[in-house]
Amino acid sequence: MPIKHEILDKFKELVPRMHADSYKGQGGRIGIIGGSHEYSGSAYISSMSSLKAGADLSYILTTREASSIIKTYSPDLIVLPILDDISYESKIAHWMKKFHSVIIGPGLGRTEEAMSYIRIGLKQAKSHDIPIVIDSDCLYLLADEISLIKGYKKCILTPNFKEFKRLYEKTFKDEEYNEVSIQVTLELKCEAVKKLAENLGHLTILKKGKIDIISDGKVVVYNEIQGSLKRCGGIGDLMTGLLSLFLNWCNSGMVGFFDQIEDASSELEHPNIIAAYTASIFTRHCSKMAFEKYHRSVIAADILNEISEAFYEMFDKKFLI
């Protein structure tokens, strides 16, 4: 499938224009519940990619131990060591009201404590009608408690193959998901993503892989353009940060969509599809740019550094000249 430029053009219309009288936060306040002592980099990469693409503020809600590490990465991040506080529930509730969208999962870990943070984070995000991006450890844990998110349409899940397989087989207990077989075509993979999204109440799934597949249970689009040939760690976290920002912009620019969702019949009418497809295309574009410069040595930090120029060329140029 060639690039669907009509989706990118629609996204371009939804990107907020910059004005001299804009105030701090207007470009996006992104919240992240994530990070742990072992995986502090995931939350950092998600946070920085959202800032590099145009968010004004990015907040990381994490544990005290992880916060001291993450704070050393950049002074641009707002790092809040509240998750292992005795009053973490009320503190998550307090900060959630400030966010335009929230990411739950990157680097959070798979402990019982992490699951409690996820439950509270999801509860608060849904109560404030905030768009949610769910990634990595949150996906793993949610497979056993999918009712926490089922039916919440302002949500995008971003599973890789293993995470998708776990979600699919937990949902359809009598079916095995095996896309390694030579008999499994792209069409069948798309149908599986569509089937799961529909069963989960028409939330949106962006299944990551050689070909990214996106569906809300009705519409299906996919992205097969080539990105970096090196699959370094952190690319998924980078895309998650972009996706959260893009999801905020698309939902803000298409207010009322979810009140009339039954009428949506194409990808151009669905903010989640527009945000997910654009984030997938843009991530691969940036990773390809970085790979062409650094080849085998490319790392996530190199891809982060390509976001500024790539975004300007793809979405801002004609509006800022």
> What is residue 259's predicted lDDT score, i.e. its pLDDT?
64
155 is in an annotated binding site: no
> What is residue 321's predicted lDDT score, i.e. its pLDDT?
44
Structural domain tally of the chain? 1
Instruction: Tell me the C-alpha distance between 287 and 292, whole Å.
Output: 9
303 is in an annotated binding site: no
Q: Per the domain annotation, does 321 fall within a domain?
A: no
69 is in an annotated binding site: no
> What is residue 285's predicted lDDT score, i.e. its pLDDT?
98
Kindly report the backbone phi and psi dihedral angles of residue 132, in degrees, each rounded to the nearest multiple of 5, phi listed first.
Answer: -125, 135
Instruction: Tell me the C-alpha distance between 81 and 278, whole Å.
Output: 32
pTM > 0.85: yes or no: yes
154 is in an annotated binding site: no
212 is in an annotated binding site: yes
* The residue type at 196: L
162 is in an annotated binding site: yes
> What is residue 319's predicted lDDT score, i.e. its pLDDT?
58
284 is in an annotated binding site: no
* The residue type at 257: F
287 is in an annotated binding site: no
Q: Per the domain annotation, does 25 fall within a domain?
A: yes
Q: Per the domain annotation, does 50 fall within a domain?
A: yes
Q: Per the domain annotation, does 287 fall within a domain?
A: yes
97 is in an annotated binding site: no
232 is in an annotated binding site: yes
84 is in an annotated binding site: no
Give the CATH number of the domain where residue 108 resides.
3.40.1190.20
> What is residue 48's predicted lDDT score, i.e. its pLDDT?
98
Q: Per the domain annotation, does 201 fall within a domain?
A: yes
> What is residue 264's predicted lDDT score, i.e. its pLDDT?
56
> What is residue 116's predicted lDDT score, i.e. its pLDDT?
95
316 is in an annotated binding site: no
Give every residue of the chain whose pLDDT is below 70, as ranges: 1, 181-182, 256, 259-265, 319-321
227 is in an annotated binding site: yes
> What is residue 102's predicted lDDT score, i.e. its pLDDT?
99
Q: Per the domain annotation, does 134 fall within a domain?
A: yes
Q: Per the domain annotation, does 213 fall within a domain?
A: yes
> What is residue 134's predicted lDDT score, i.e. its pLDDT?
98
Full residue range of the structural domain in which residue 101 is found: 5-316
235 is in an annotated binding site: yes
216 is in an annotated binding site: no
